[in-house]
Chain A
Amino acid sequence: MNWVDICSIDDIVPNTGVGALIQGHQVAIFRLLGSDELYAIDNYDPASSANVLSRGLVGDLGGKVVVASPIYKHHYCLQDGVCLEDAGYSVNVHEIRVSNGRVEVRLGEGVMERAA
């Protein structure tokens, strides 16, 4: 799986997220505290069955960097995708990097299998 170009880093307001479509898969991308801290997880919130995680509030809880789903407020760890309230709802995490001011994402392994 290759790195996919998504957008300019300036397209993401610091401390917020955006949604991205990568080969039919919805990904939520977050930019924290400046330009160097980026995360990518699934956009799909299993707790509400809606594609909304990119629109959640980011922050930290008990030392974990998290996003709160806007629908029923489940928290997902941006580093490992685990749902803090119910691990059964965990989501995929994806690789993300900035290169020449562009944000790039590489979908995680599990996603590829499912897409195949």
Chain B
Amino acid sequence: MSSKKSIVVIGNGMVGHKYLELLVQKLEQSGQRNDYELITFCEEPRVAYDRVHLSAYFSGTSADELSLVEEGFYEKHGITLHLNDKAVAIDREAKVVQSAQGKQVAYDKLVLATGSYPFVPPVEGAEREDCFVYRTIEDLEAITEAGSRSRVGAVVGGGLLGLEAAKALKDMGLKTHVVEFAPRLMTVQVDDGGGRMLRKMIEELGVEVHTGKNTQCIEQGESCKHVMRFADGESLETDVILFSAGIRPRDELARACELEVGPRGGIVIDNSCLTTDKSIYAIGECALWDGKIFGLVAPGYDMARVAVDHLLESENEFAGADMSTKLKLMGVDVASIGDAQGATQGSKSCVYVDERQRIYKKLVISEDDKRLLGAVLVGDAEDYGNLLQMMLNDIELPEHPEALILPSLDGMAKPALGVDALPATAQICSCNNVSKGDLASAIEGGCMTVGDLKSCTAAATSCGGCAALVKDVLNAELKARGVEVNNHICEHFEYSRQELEHMVRVEKIRSFEDLLGKHGNGRGCDICKPAVASILATTWNEHVIEPHLAQLQDTNDYFMANMQKDGTYSVVPRVPGGEITAEKLIVLGEVAKKFGLYTKITGGQRIDLFGARVEQLPLIWKELVDAGFESGHAYGKAVRTVKSCVGSTWCRYGVQDSVGMAILMEERYRGIRSPHKLKFAVSGCTRECAEAQVKDVGVIATENGWNLYVAGNGGMKPRHADLFATDLDDETLIKYVDRFLMFYIRTADRLQRTARWLENLEGGLDYLKEVVIEDKLGIGEELEAQMQMLVDTYECEWKKTIENPEKLKRFRHFVNSESNDSNVVFVQERGQIRPATEDEREELKEKAA
């Protein structure tokens, strides 16, 4: 027998895993790792995953991506993991855990992190087929399967999780109902007024809300699979039912071995997270502290920290948790802070309601008017961070606290709570327990960006609710340290891209030299030159390789092709909307064959031809242009592709001609230069086969027209596009897209895609809508006119180039020789060429010699 201490953790959920992570980290740091044996039982078929973001599974996040466990973590740290094995009994006397698969594991200390299970009300028929709960990946898999063959879905429970589940049903295209026992939604977090507003907004999204409904039984339905019968005699037909009527702690093991549990369940723990047996801890949602269960992950993580510290004999106590929350439910911002219901003796409330804009905000203020006790925000939760900090840090309220929630009208600044007012102990990120002081020392240690802070302190990496505040702290701290936060484009111009764009337009500047002479210094560089070239292009739209512009272009724009790793180029002709005739396909094939190019279908629904030497580009393009192809601008910061699905022309579900619209858009916006590349897609129905919701501009057909989405992104940091406007006719759609694009082109930073631009745009999506839809700045027509100018002056860059012998001169590898670059060597692979590796190149050279 080893003298190692054995620590057994039952439950490998969010909190159980956090416990092991923290423990291993501390043990390794203090060199005690070898004194301990770590073992965990995981009932589920996979290690811990991010249950908080479970719903992301429906929008395509895979189980792997949801995983919280770093690849190989358990192996690397020597933790024994019993996957798919449930602990079934605890012998406290012998200190042994018994598992379903028959394992017997002895422990010195046991940690119960068994979480909770969804409560299913005792309704007759609740066990029928296609009735589900919403807690695990397996649940979601089953729901997806049932959803795909159903029309109607109902969620029992109108709380936080219920509404999240309703969104999932809605997104699957089901007619969705929410059935709530109480007279309003989200009884725990919001008050009557907030609940009413929330209901209105959710109903506007097409979800039917039924409150005050007590489900009595579920039976065989007529038009649907089931009928739900309510106590008031009414009924509802539905195919799928999701129960989301609250959670119950999983304390069955604890009960069986006679640990103390609460009257309504939950394993009783003290401030050290110890149960009534001093060798057994309980943490997370299964634990009952001071008569309370905490159904959020942050308090669970806190318990994990406390339990680790207690085991290692360092001081720490669990002191309860703030249950404030902020979330987006079906696109509606909802936040609840502290005493949201105004339950405190003598408290007063202060309410702002705007039924037009669908905003409800309430402050709960202490009897003496000095302190904020709680708040409810529906429809606009921007004030959440500020208000939460005020409450948590007991900051004295301003004289007119109502100003905190009133809209800021022109000239009336909001009494914003500067982050400077916060004490260093203020907790900024509750998920990861990061205080303002922690952020400050990370900044002292060299963090300069929110990204740095995320990787150094883990702040803002879980629910993301604190991201805005983290940024504020960063900016304030940098400022306090005298670090100038500037957006100058580079050392040659003390201006942002937006400012340069403005100067070029207003002062009618047409060349880089002119701009540099008037507003810059030095010679310029590879940062400012292409940026200015792009600005000049959107303002004057001259041919990219006019001599005064050619010198500014990155090699890709200069040779109008994408440089590959070996110095050769790729050729990507435009295939608008991805639609191509057989003739044109044959031409592509023949050109590729003739010039020995590697061909590949791209992710953008077109064909890429690789391995062209610079001197071959004009010859290749001559043939392509003759066959009617145009430049695809794969090389430019410009419109790349407008992906389409086949749409109503062929597809049995299509409701509009998505291919037609995609071609119209691609031909309208081709060639325009912008701060970064632009990608579009048009889908013919909500099945969304063109993936429009990850595009800069996404269009999805509806029965009545088009829904427009903006600022989506795939790539390095994916972002789901925002729904911008619905049911547009063709003309309005184009008008909005014109304005949106031009406004982006004018105001974005260099190499800032629309997703990042919108995230940084002051006022966000609402402001963008005001500018584009309501024309608040009065520049709508001007933006459209500028776009129209670009559309009218479009010319195919390659066509123009091959017609001009002067310009063609530049397409050669050597100015003084007809030879090719001897370093470009290809080998064959799967029937096509590919660049030789360095070793292969050497080998071939030797052979030749």
Residues of A in contact with B (beta carbons under 8 Å apart): 5-7, 11-16, 18-22, 26, 29, 32-33, 44, 48-52, 55-62, 65-66, 68, 70-71, 73, 75
Contact = CB atoms under 8 A, between A and B. Distances in A.
Interface stretch (B8-16, B224-232, B809-817): B809-817
A14 to B, nearest CB: 7
Chain B interface size, under 10 / 10 to 19 / 20 to 34 / 35 or more: 35 or more
Given A7-B815, A52-B567, A59-B529, A70 B523 contact: no
Interface string B806-849: 00011001111101010100000000000000100000000000
A14 B530 CA distance: 16
Nearest to B566: A50
Contacts of B810: 13
A71 B562 CA distance: 10
Interface stretch (B45-53, B550-558, B698-706, B741-749): B550-558
Given A26-B821, A55-B563, A66 B816 contact: no
Interface string B140-152: 0000000000000
Contact of B567 (A7, A51, A57, A65): A51
Given A14-B551, A52-B563, A21 B524 contact: no
B815 A59 contact: no
Contacts of A61: 491, 525
Nearest to A15: B551
A61 B565 CA distance: 25
Interface in B539-566: 547, 550-556, 558-559, 563, 565-566
A57 B523 contact: no
Contacts of A18: 814-815
A6 B816 CA distance: 6
A59 B526 contact: yes
Interface string B681-720: 0000000000000000000000000000000000000000
A14 B821 CA distance: 24
B525 A51 contact: no
28 contacts: A5-B816, A11-B815, A12-B815, A16-B551, A18-B814, A19-B814, A20-B816, A21-B814, A22-B816, A26-B821, A33-B523, A50-B565, A51-B567, A51-B823, A52-B567, A55-B555, A55-B563, A55-B567, A56-B526, A57-B525, A57-B526, A57-B553, A58-B523, A59-B525, A59-B526, A60-B524, A70-B554, A71-B567
B815 A50 contact: no
Given A19-B814, A70-B555, 11 more contacts: A13-B550, A19-B815, A21-B819, A49-B823, A50-B567, A51-B823, A52-B563, A57-B530, A59-B524, A59-B526, A73-B526
A57 B823 contact: no
B815 A6 contact: yes
A11 B814 CA distance: 11
Contacts of B554: 57, 70
Which DSSP category, helix, strand, loop or mixed, fits chain A's interface? Answer: strand
Given A13-B547, A57-B526, A59-B524, A51 B815 contact: no
Nearest to B522: A60
A62 B522 CA distance: 9
Contacts of A33: 523
A55 B614 CA distance: 11
Interface in B597-616: 614
Nearest to B813: A19
A29 B814 CA distance: 10
A60 B525 contact: yes
A56 B530 CA distance: 12
B265 to A, nearest CB: 60
Nearest to A12: B815
A21 B563 contact: no
A59 B555 contact: no
Contacts of B823: 44, 49-51
A43 to B, nearest CB: 9
A81 to B, nearest CB: 18
Given A21-B817, A29-B815, A55 B525 contact: no
A35 to B, nearest CB: 14
Interface in B499-534: 522-526, 528-530
Of the listed residues B558, B559, B614, the one surrounded by the most CB atoms of chain A closer than 10 A to its CB is B558
A52 B530 CA distance: 18
A55 B410 CA distance: 52
Contacts of A15: 551
A11 B809 CA distance: 9
Contacts of A51: 567, 813, 821, 823
A53 B817 CA distance: 17
Given A13-B551, A18-B815, A50-B823, A70 B529 contact: no
A62 B810 CA distance: 30
A68 B491 contact: no
Interface in B554-588: 554-556, 558-559, 563, 565-567
A63 B287 CA distance: 64
A13 B530 CA distance: 17
Contacts of A13: 547, 550-551, 810
A62 to B, nearest CB: 7
Nearest to A31: B551
A62 B491 CA distance: 8
A70 B814 CA distance: 17
Contacts of A12: 815
A59 B493 CA distance: 13
Nearest to A73: B526
B747 to A, nearest CB: 25
A10 to B, nearest CB: 10
B594 to A, nearest CB: 25
Nearest to B555: A70
A38 to B, nearest CB: 13
Nearest to A68: B526
A14 B550 CA distance: 10
A33 B566 CA distance: 30
Contacts of A70: 554-556, 563
Contacts of A52: 555, 563, 567
A60 B523 contact: yes
B533 to A, nearest CB: 10
B22 to A, nearest CB: 39
B804 to A, nearest CB: 13
Which 4 pairs across A and B sit closest by C-beta, in order of nearness? A59-B525, A70-B555, A68-B526, A15-B551
Given A14-B551, A20-B815, A56-B555, A48 B526 contact: no
Of the listed residues B551, B552, B815, B838, the one surrounded by the most CB atoms of chain A closer than 10 A to its CB is B815
Nearest to B806: A13
Given A50-B823, A55-B559, A57-B529, A65 B838 contact: no
Nearest to A72: B565
Contacts of B526: 56-57, 59, 68, 73, 75
Given A16-B551, A55-B555, A60-B522, A71 B565 contact: yes
Nearest to A8: B815
A112 to B, nearest CB: 19
Nearest to A52: B567
A13 B808 CA distance: 13
A66 B525 contact: yes
A19 B522 CA distance: 25
Interface string B296-338: 0000000000000000000000000000000000000000000
Contacts of B525: 57, 59-61, 66, 68
Contacts of B614: 55
A29 B817 CA distance: 14
A20 B551 CA distance: 19
Nearest to A65: B523
A15 B523 CA distance: 10
Contacts of A75: 526
A116 B551 CA distance: 36
A71 to B, nearest CB: 7
Contacts of B563: 52, 55, 70-71
Nearest to A50: B567
Contacts of B815: 6-7, 11-12, 18-20, 29
